[in-house]
Structure 1
Amino acid sequence: MNPILFRIAIAGLSLLSMIASSNDSIAADAAAASADNPYVKEALTNIDTLEASMQEARAKEIDVTREETVVWFAKEFLKFADWDEDNQDAVAYLFEQYAPYKEDKDKLAAEIPDFQRKMVVKILNDGIAELSSVIRGDIQRRPVNKVDWQNIEVGDNMLLSNGKPIFLYDYFSKSVGRPLTDTNVYNDHLGAIFHGGENLYPAEHDRAINSFLLKQDRTFDQELLREVTEISDSNVGFLIYWNQGIAEWVEKLEPEVRKGRSTFTGFDIDNPLVREVWGTIARETGALTKGKKVTQLGYILANEPHWHSIASGWTRRTGEMQQISSYTLNQFREWLRKKYDGDLDRLNKNWVSQFTGFDAVEIEIPISAQTRGTPMFYDWARYSMDRAIDWYTHIQGELRKGNPDADTHVKNSTHLYTDNNRAHGIDLEALTELTSMIGDDAKARPTRRSYPNEPEAWEEHYAYCWEELSMSYDFMDSVSPRKIHVNSESHFLSASRWRKLDLSVEYVESVYWLATLQGMDANMAWFWARDPDGSPEDRLEGELNFADLALAGSFVGSTNQQPHIANAYTQVMYDLNSFSEEIIALRKQRRPLRLFHSETSAINKNSHMTEQFSIYEKLFFEGIPMGFATENIIKKQDNRSWDGILVYKTEWVTESELNALQSYLDQGGTLIVDSEKSLSKNEYGQPHDKRLKQSKGNLIVLKGNESVSQVRDVALAEVAESRPDVTLAEENGSDHKGCHWLAVKQDDGSYLMSILNIGKNNAKLKLGLKDGTRISVTDLFTGKSVEPEFDLNSKGVSLLEIKSL
Structure 2
Amino acid sequence: MFKKQCIVALFVAITGVCSAQSIEKEARAKMEKLEKLIKKAEKKKIDVLKEKTTIRTAEVFLKYANWDEKNIEVNKKAFELVPIYKKKAAELAQDLPDFERADVVKMLDKAIEEITLVSQGKIKRIPSPKVNWEQVEVEGDQLTYENRPVFLADYTWKPKTKELTEYHGNQDGFFITPSYVVKEDGTINPKKLEELKSKPNGSLGFIFMNHKSVPKWAEEKFGPGLKMREDTYTAYDIDNPGARDVQEKLIGGMVPYMAGKKFSELGYMMCNEPHFFTQGDKTKNKKLWASGGVSEYTIEKFRVWLSKKHKTITELNKVWETDFKSFETVEIEIPIDISLKGTPKWYDWAYFNMERVTEWYTFIKNTTQKYDANAKVHLKIMPNLWTDNQRIHGIDLEALTDLSGIIGNDSGAAHSKLWGKDLEWEKDYKFEWRELCMGFDFMKSVSPNKVNFNSELHYLSTVRSRDLYLDPAYARASFWLAHTYGMTASQIWYWPREANGAISKKAQNDKGYAGSNNQQPRVTNEVAMTMIDLNSFSEEIMAMQRQRKSLRLFYSKTSAINKAKHMDDVFELYEDLEFNGTPIGFVTKDIINKQENTNWDVVLVANTQFVTQEELDAVQSYLNKGGTVFIDKVSFKKNEYGQPLKSTLKASKGTLILVNSLEEMEHQAMELLAQKNLLSPVKVKEQNAIGQKGCLWKAITNKDGKYILSIVNVGKSSANLEISLKGAKKGTVCKDLLKGINVTNTPTLKPNEVFFVEVVDASK
Amino acid at match of 1:716: M
Which digits, 9 at most, give the CA deviation of each residue in 1:661-693, with x for residues without a partner? Answer: 110000000000022x20111001111021111
Counterpart residue number, 2:12: none
For residues 557 and 152 of structure 1, the distance between their equivalents in structure 2, rounded to whole angstroms, comes to: 33
Query: Paired residue for 1:369?
Result: 338
1:607 positional shift: 0.4
Q: Distance in 2 between matches of 1:386 and 1:63?
A: 52
Structure 1 residues 211 and 680, CA gap change in structure 2 (3 angstroms): farther
Aligned to 2:377: 408
Instruction: Name which of 738, 743, 750 aligns with 2:706.
Output: 750
Counterpart secondary structure, 1:728? strand
Secondary structure in 2 aligned to 1:328? helix
Match of 1:219 among 177, 184, 187: 187
Are 1:68 and 2:38 an aligned pair?
Answer: no
Is the CA contact (8 Å cut-off) linking 2:354 and 2:393 kept in structure 1? Answer: yes
- Within 2, Cα distance between the matches of 1:277 and 1:318? 29
Match of 1:17 in 2: none
Moved more, 352-361 or 55-64: 55-64
**Residue 789 of structure 1, CA deviation:** 2.0
Between 275-284 and 86-95, the greater mean CA deviation after superposition: 275-284
Instruction: Rate the CA distance shift 1:225–1:103 in 2: closer, same or farther, 3 A.
Output: farther
Partner of 2:154: 170
Q: Which moved more, 1:136-145 or 1:372-381?
A: 136-145
The C-alpha deviation readout for 1:733-774, integer Å capped at 9, x for no partner, is: 233211111112345443111111111111121122233533
1:53 maps to: 37
How much has 1:317 moved relative to structure 2? 8.1
From the superposition, tell whether residues 297 and 718 of structure 1 become closer, same or farther in structure 2 (CA, over 3 Å): same
The 1-side partners of 2:88 and 2:733 are apart by: 54
Q: Supply the AA of the counterpart residue of 1:522.
A: A
Corresponding residue of 2:752: 795
2:214 matched to 1:246?
A: yes
CA shift in 2, pair 1:638/1:315, >3 Å: farther
In structure 1, the residue matched to 2:141 is 157
1:75-94 correspondence to structure 2 within 5 Å: 75-94=59-78
SS in 2 for 1:66: helix
User: Is the Cα contact below 8 Å between 2:186 and 2:250 reproduced in 1?
Assistant: no
The 8 Å contact of residues 34 and 82 in structure 1, kept in 2 or not, is answered as: no
RMSD: 1.9
Contact 1:95–1:101 (CA<8 Å) still a contact in 2?
Answer: yes
Query: Contact between 1:212 and 1:246, CA under 8 Å: does it hold in 2?
Result: no
Provide structure 1 residue ranges, at least 5 long, that are not aligned to the other structure.
1-31, 197-206, 545-551
Query: Could you say if the C-alpha distance between residues 516 and 337 of structure 1 is closer, same or farther in structure 2, counting changes exceeding 3 Å?
Result: same
Alpha carbons of structure 1 residues 120 and 617: separation in structure 2 relative to 1, 3 Å:
same
Partner of residue 241, structure 2? 272
Structure 1 residues 491 and 36: alpha-carbon distance in aligned structure 2, compared to 1, 3 A threshold: closer
Residue identity (%): 39
1:688-727 equivalences under 5 Å are 688-703=645-660, 706=661, 708-720=662-674, 721-727=677-683
Shift of 1:651: 0.5
CA contact (8 A) 1:416 1:426 kept: yes
Equivalent residue runs for 1:497-512 within 5 Å? 497-512=464-479
Kindly indicate whether residue 579 of structure 2 is the aligned counterpart of residue 611 of structure 1: no
TM-aligned CA deviation for residue 414 of structure 1: 0.6
Q: Tell me, yes or no, if the aligned pair for 1:730 and 1:739 is still in contact at 8 Å.
A: yes
The structure 2 residue matched to 1:284, chosen from 245, 253, 257, is 253
Tell me the secondary structure at the aligned position of residue 653 of structure 1.
coil
- Retained in 2: the 8 A contact 1:681–1:687? yes
Aligned pair in 2 of structure 1 residues 316, 67: CA closer, same or farther (>3 Å)? farther
> Are 2:170 and 1:192 aligned?
yes
Does 1 or 2 have the higher relative contact order (CA < 8 Å, sep 6+)? 1
Matches within 5 A, 1:199-218: 207-218=175-186
TM-superposed CA distance for 1:47, in Å, is 1.4
Q: 2:393 & 2:744 partners in 1: Cα distance?
A: 51
State the 1:214 CA deviation: 4.5
| Count of residues in Structure 1 that have an aligned counterpart in Structure 2 | 742
User: Within 1, Cα distance between the matches of 2:285 and 2:77?
Assistant: 27
User: CA deviation digits over 1:11-54, x for unaligned, max 9?
Assistant: xxxxxxxxxxxxxxxxxxxxx99786331122122112212222
Q: Name the SS for the 1:785 alignment partner.
A: strand
**CA–CA separation in structure 2 for the residues paired with 1:211 and 1:681:** 48
Letter in 2 for 1:173: W
Relative distance call for 1:356 and 1:463 in structure 2 (3 A) is same
With the length of structure 2 as denominator, give the TM-score of the two structures: 0.94
Q: Give the whole-Å Cα distance in 2 for the aligned partners of 1:788 and 1:89.
A: 52
Distance 1:422 1:474 in 2: 19
Following superposition, the deviation at residue 285 of structure 1 comes to 2.3
Write the deviation string for residues 210-248 of structure 1: whole angstroms up to 9, x where unpaired. Answer: 343342232222223234333332211111110111112
Out of 300, 305, 313, the residue aligned to residue 344 of structure 1 is 313
CA offsets, 1:461-510, max 9 Å, x none?
Answer: 11111000110000000000000110001001111122110111111111
Cα gap change, 1:51 to 1:746, in 2 (>3 Å): closer
Per the TM alignment, residue 638 of structure 1 is displaced from its structure 2 partner at its CA by 0.5
Cα distance, 1:107–1:195 mapped onto 2, change above 3 Å: farther
The separation in 2 between residues aligned to 1:786 and 1:90, in whole angstroms, is: 48
The superposition leaves residues 524-567 of structure 1 with CA deviations (integer Å, 9 ceiling, x where unpaired) of 100112222111123345xx4xxxxxxx1122111111111111
* Closer, same or farther: CA 299–219 of 1 in aligned 2, 3 Å: same
Paired letter, 2:279: I
Q: CA deviation at 1:796?
A: 1.2
Equivalent position of 2:295 in the other structure: 325
Q: 1:36 to 1:518 in 2, by over 3 A?
A: closer
Q: Which residue of 1 aligns with 2:121?
A: 137
Q: Which amino acid aligns with 1:565?
A: V
Counterpart in 1 of 2:448?
Answer: 481
Q: Is the 8 A contact 2:725 2:760 kept in 1?
A: no
Q: Which residue of 1 aligns with 2:305?
A: 335
Q: Secondary structure at the match of 1:250?
A: helix
Q: Name the residue aligned to 2:79.
A: 95
